[in-house]
Structure formats: C-alpha cells, structure tokens
Structure 1
Amino acid sequence: MQDVDTRVRTLRRPRLLVAAARIAAGQAARRFDQPEDCCAAPGSTAHLLRLLEDEAEHEARRRARDASYSAPGHVTALGAVIATHALRQAAPSLPDSLALVPPHSVGARVTRPGPA
C-alpha cells in the first residue's frame, strides 16, 4: 500500500482537468470549508484519504462515461486534493493529531483538539 502523499503524486489525469483543478485548488485553499469532512482536521491524513476516495469515484464515473459524471464536481474534488496536499507539504512535520487552522486565517497557527 502506498502512502497518501505518494498516491497524490502518482495521480494521472487529463491535462485540462488538472489545469482547472489547480485553479480550483487556489480557491479551496482560500476557503477550506469541506463540511462533509467535519470529523477530520483539514490537512490530516484522514482528510486527504477521504478527498482521494471522492476524487477516485469521480474518475471512475468519467472513465465509465457514466451519465451521472459531473466535470465541475470532478474539478472541485481534484482541486481539494491538490490544496490539501499543498497544505501538508507546507507543514510536513506536523502530526495528524493536530488540527490545522485554515491558512487564510489571521495569525494562522496550529491548535490541539480539545478533550473528547
């Protein structure tokens, strides 16, 4: 099994899809609100794995030429993967147990999750 960062680096997608996703990644990095991932801290391995699973579902529908395939949804999903991977690369030494404050926050810093 590959580690999550290797999986991101070895993704192979059409150039136009990647170009659009890079634009979406800039927007995702600015807002970083993924409500479906409320239980995983942005930038954590769990968060990135969830995003990779979502993107893989879009890719499977694209390859199957499924009528339910949504190009804008795929761009958004791939953009979120790119933005999250960039966030992880910007702070590689942080353990997954730390919750990262979105980078656009004033005085961005690392905070520990509260007791359960």
Structure 2
Amino acid sequence: MVKANKTTTFLFNLLLAISIFLMISVAESRIFGFGFGQQAAPNCDTVYGVEIGDTCFSVTQKFNLTTEFFNEINPNLVCDKEYEEISEEPEQAALKKVNSKKLKKLKIKKHWLIHNRRLSLRRRKFHC
C-alpha cells in the first residue's frame, strides 16, 4: 500500500511540474524555449545620431536601406509627421541631434532606435 502511495504521489508531482512548465511556456508564447511567430529582437552595438535636417528619406539613402525595412525597424517613427521644433516643411520629418555623451554610456549594438524623437541605427542579430 505504501508503494502505491509513493508511485501515485510521484506521478501527481510529475504531472503538476509538466503542467506548470506548459503554462509558463504558453504565457511567454514559447514552447520549449523557441519563439513562434515572432522576429528576433535586434542586438545593438553602435548608434547613429541624426543631424538637424535629416529626414527619413535622407537616412535611408545614407545607409542604403529600403523604405520598407527602415519602417519595419522603426515602427514608432512617423515619417509623414512634422516635428515642429526643427522642421518647417510637413513632408520632412527632421529629428533632433542625439546627445553623444548619453549615447557613450549605452552599451548598444547596431540598430535603428527611436526614443523621444531621436533616431539611431540598429542592426538585427542576423545581418542586414
């Protein structure tokens, strides 16, 4: 009888552990550590600070990027919007120059990054 209780307890604990593991995996949208339907998060090591007068188009030309790729890696940037503190023409979205002292403190790998109307270059884990 005691052996049957130990086996039942072991199976119950094993089932409980597997259930908890699967709940966490589903909550994290991953099964067994692999993401499904998600793109890899970018890794960054350098930052490009735009100059006054830079537009989305001029930056894509400068770094030889397609507009689709630029928009994909900068989902929060609205290129059609005028930034009143710099641009006077609505079709040009000029951005503030990035404070280089703050950027030196960041340990970022290459990627385009928009934060508080500042634009910087990012590169994905897989090469662009």
Q: TM-score, normalised by structure 2?
A: 0.25
Ranked by relative contact order (alpha carbons within 8 Å, sequence separation 6 or more), the top structure is 1
Richer in helix (by share): 1
- Structure whose alpha-carbon radius of gyration is higher: 2
